[in-house]
Amino acid sequence: MESSIGIVTAKKMHFSAPLLLQSGQSLADYDLMVETYGVLNAQRSNAVLICHALNASHHVAGHYLHEPQSLGWWDNMVGPGKPLDTQRFFIIGINNLGSCFGSTGPMSLDPATGRPYGARFPVVTVEDWVNAQARVADALGIERFAAVMGGSLGGMQALAWSITYPERVAHCLAIASTPKLSAQNIAFNEVARSAILSDPDFHGGDYYTHGVKPRIGLRLARMIGHITYLSDEDMAAKFGRARFSQKKNTYNFNFDIEFEVESYLRHQGGKFAEYFDANTYLLATRALDYFDPAQAYAGDLSAALANTRANYLVVSFTTDWRFPPARSQELVKALLEHKRAVTYAEINAPHGHDAFLLTDDRYHNLVRAYYARIAQECA
Amino acid sequence: MESSIGIVTAKKMHFSAPLLLQSGQSLADYDLMVETYGVLNAQRSNAVLICHALNASHHVAGHYLHEPQSLGWWDNMVGPGKPLDTQRFFIIGINNLGSCFGSTGPMSLDPATGRPYGARFPVVTVEDWVNAQARVADALGIERFAAVMGGSLGGMQALAWSITYPERVAHCLAIASTPKLSAQNIAFNEVARSAILSDPDFHGGDYYTHGVKPRIGLRLARMIGHITYLSDEDMAAKFGRARFSQKKNTYNFNFDIEFEVESYLRHQGGKFAEYFDANTYLLATRALDYFDPAQAYAGDLSAALANTRANYLVVSFTTDWRFPPARSQELVKALLEHKRAVTYAEINAPHGHDAFLLTDDRYHNLVRAYYARIAQECA
């Protein structure tokens, strides 16, 4: 019963009411790319919003016509008979503001100038994204989500939904996430941003009009990211000290690719630099850095969660050193102080932060069981 | 009794016999910068060699005349009354081949061309460094070292000494080190090297003749390095999410320095890019990658250590995630298989990999006690 949902189509939704951003700036109007799967029931009670992480999009599941390789980023989670079952739920994926997959972002034309926004695109926050997503829900006639779910930066959006719109979220599923970045997390983001900002082809963010893109910086940023997504154990198992060359018994004594892990990183970095936008990378890492709902409460996360109404599923993975289990536990503890219903699972998985995207029976069966319960509530 | 050794002077030693390198290349002749502290006894039995890590030098302790700020990198370890007591031992620091502090390296003039070696400087290994260091010992009339000691990449040299010259090392002290890099270690090195290699000012390694240096790449490399030297806990304690700006209650909504940790990394990176040489960074990270004494024995570290004769002190630090305690334990286990005398200590310290350079009573008292025993042996 675990087949992909098959061919899907994305649509662009236009919003013409200005959106006031946390920075004080506003967007006069904007587009958001949206995909939906399954059918909204008559009571409009079975809607689930999936929030994406740094480099993903609205394309959560299925594939596009004539593009069988274009599988959605969470296709193993969302589909007929899958943990989040499209036969039971109406599921929405939205490409966030500032991203580079069709929603309004730095690559879009600024109506004020007729040229791409570039560096003039405002710095957006997790809360800004949530406010923009709420307008999609309004347009689709969804008053309350059965669930808002996300992994990593997507989990932050799910958490922000439950704080900003407590009446509109029945369940919040925060996977491999954290209520705030650590200094080390920010440090990795800063190196990635520095690589982009210092690339001579960055041109202060306005590289579009120069006909170039800061590939070198974006490539380095992605290489750094990749190291933090994988666990030390996983890298050891996948690559170890395996050699790239055929001459296994002697080194090349140069700085070309010597080890498999170098080849992997260069390949991933190079691929990413072709399809992703550097300004979006800057924006998404800043949104990560800035997210900290406790900040307005003098660092008291419990106070920040005082008005939440949702039930929570919080999942962490043992070898995730980007957002380790302790960060999820911090969230769980603060929620329990308000007697919220919280299910917490720490999945023993070797794959580091990436585990949230991978197929793992214990993880998927947990999410499946959790959604089965939600399905009963909204039937 | 813990004063600095005071004013010290470095000297340049010239070696005119060709040095055959592991790569098959050779250096016709070369210079090495050397510093010594304390007095070699009549039996020449109290000599200790200190091997340096990635970015350090022969300048281990004391300071230079009229430069009170120029304290040696291990001044808290080496001096009168310090754990390695200059009143008892004759201590030698050597700047490794390929480094940028006066020993022959990529910045030196290639006698074959009259121009800086640049990219033509051969890729050197830990074993090459050890062979070059052995010639310094020969020149100073030291047949056997009371101890060879190093931290991190320096610990690899100490280990290589005990394997390559088993008769010439009484004690090997390997601190915060590892018998080989992991895939994750290599991955971080690869990103650092990529940053340098892809800097437009790198010019294939021959930037000297262009009057520039690849500052952007070197700065990024150092920023990445710094993250791996500090523990997550230590960064949390030092920086947390502390803000750089005076406006603590609102974000700047841009990509300038927002958090203290960003300021720290940019400062460290910028400073490093001014004083360090990019080609040396490439060489030192490659020497790290390549070190793997077990490789010639089909990965059997125990077999690689079969002919060692030294006694060992192995020290690791609990929060060191660059070379975690498990890597030291791997070495200890292989040594015990040959019934070598091994003292192993895992120091509970919050400072990550950098802990080996910092003052910590338990760590320093252990090293002090170990050297007190060596002093009795060589009296």
Cβ-based neighbour number of residue B109 at 10 Å: 12
**Of the candidates B135, B99, B123, B155, which has an alpha carbon nearest to the alpha carbon of residue B22?**
B123
The chain A residue lying nearest B323, using CA atoms, is: A232
pLDDT value of residue A378 = 85
More confident residue, B250 or A35: A35
pLDDT higher than threshold 70 for residue B361? yes
| Nearest by CB: B261 against A122, A183, A216 | A183
Asked whether the CA dihedral B105, B106, B107, B111 is positive or negative, the reply is positive
| Nearest by CB: B183 against A240, A253, A269 | A240
pLDDT value of residue A358 = 97
Please state, in angstroms and rounded to a whole number, the distance separating the CA atoms of residues A198 and B220: 9
pLDDT higher than threshold 70 for residue B268? yes
pLDDT value of residue B331 = 98
Domain boundaries, chain A: 11-180+292-378, 185-285
pLDDT > 90 in chain A, percent: 95
The chain A residue lying nearest B224, using CA atoms, is: A191
pLDDT 10s digits, B168-213: 999 999 999 999 999 999 999 999 999 999 999 999 999 999 999 9
Strand partners, B13: B32
For residue B240, list chain A residues with Cβ-Cβ distance below 8 A: 182-183
**Of the candidates A149, A130, A117, A131, which has an alpha carbon nearest to the alpha carbon of residue A280?**
A117
Mean pLDDT of A141-157: 98
pLDDT 10s digits, A295-339: 999 999 999 999 999 999 999 999 999 999 999 999 999 999 999
Residues of A carrying an active site annotation: 152, 320, 353
Q: Is there a contact between B195 and A193 if contact means CB atoms under 8 Å apart?
A: no
Of the residues B52, B351, B353, B364, only one is catalytic, namely B353
Residue located via tokens 């005076």: B246
**CATH 3.40.140.10, applies to A11-180+292-378:** no
Is the ipTM reported for this complex over the cut 0.85?
Answer: yes
Distances (CA, A) of B33 to A76, A259, B9, B222, B285: 59, 33, 10, 24, 20
pLDDT value of residue A155 = 98
pLDDT 10s digits, B295-338: 999 999 999 999 999 999 999 999 999 999 999 999 999 999 99
List helix spans (H) across chain A.
126-139, 153-164, 183-197, 215-229, 232-238, 260-275, 278-290, 301-304, 325-336, 361-377
Residue B50, both tokens = 């200190």
A126-139 vs A278-290: helix crossing angle, rounded to 10: 100
**CATH 1.10.1740.110, applies to A185-285:** yes
pLDDT value of residue B1 = 42
Cβ-based neighbour number of residue B16 at 10 Å: 7
Residue A68: strand, helix, or coil: coil
pLDDT value of residue A246 = 65
pLDDT 10s digits, B73-114: 999 999 999 999 999 999 999 999 999 999 999 999 999 899
Question: How many beta-carbon pairs under 8 angstroms link A with B?
Answer: 155
Pairing verdict, β B90-94 and B30-37 = antiparallel
Of the residues B4, B45, B108, B152, only one is catalytic, namely B152
Mean pLDDT of A84-89: 97
Catalytic, B353? Answer yes
Q: Among A189-203, A244-258, B310-324, whose mean pLDDT is lowest?
A: A244-258
For residue B227, list chain A residues with Cβ-Cβ distance below 8 A: 184, 187-188, 191
HEC sequence for B258-296: CEHHHHHHHHHHHHHHHHCCHHHHHHHHHHHHHCCHHHH
B286 among the known binding-site residues?
Answer: no
Pairing verdict, β B47-51 and B147-151 = parallel
pLDDT higher than threshold 70 for residue B247? no
Catalytic, B152? Answer yes
pLDDT higher than threshold 50 for residue A10? yes
pLDDT higher than threshold 50 for residue A1? no
Q: What is the mean pLDDT of chain A?
A: 96
Please state, in angstroms and rounded to a whole number, the distance separating the CA atoms of residues A116 and A72: 28
pLDDT higher than threshold 60 for residue A2? no
| Nearest by CB: A183 against B187, B239, B258 | B239
Distances (CA, A) of A285 to A162, A191, B122: 22, 11, 39
Q: Which long-range contacts (CB under 8 A, 24 or more apart) does A103-108 make?
A: A103/A30, A103/A31, A103/A32, A103/A33, A103/A58, A104/A27, A104/A30, A104/A31, A104/A32, A105/A277, A105/A279, A105/A280, A105/A283, A106/A205, A106/A277, A106/A279, A106/A280, A106/A283, A107/A208, A107/A277, A107/A279, A107/A280, A108/A31
pLDDT higher than threshold 60 for residue A118? yes
pLDDT 10s digits, A267-284: 999 999 999 999 999 999
Distances (CA, A) of A175 to A85, A233, A295, A346, B176: 18, 21, 22, 10, 35
For residue B194, list chain A residues with Cβ-Cβ distance below 8 A: 219-220, 223, 265-266, 269
For residue B238, list chain A residues with Cβ-Cβ distance below 8 A: 183
Residue partners of B339: CB distance under 8 A and separation at least 6 = none
For residue B184, list chain A residues with Cβ-Cβ distance below 8 A: 227, 230, 232, 235-236
**Of the candidates A135, A354, A138, which has an alpha carbon nearest to the alpha carbon of residue A230?**
A354
pLDDT higher than threshold 90 for residue B379? no
End-to-end Cα spacing for chain A: 21
pLDDT 10s digits, A40-56: 999 999 999 999 999 99
Residue positions of A in the annotated binding site? 222, 354
Q: Is there a contact between B184 and A236 if contact means CB atoms under 8 Å apart?
A: yes
pLDDT value of residue A18 = 96
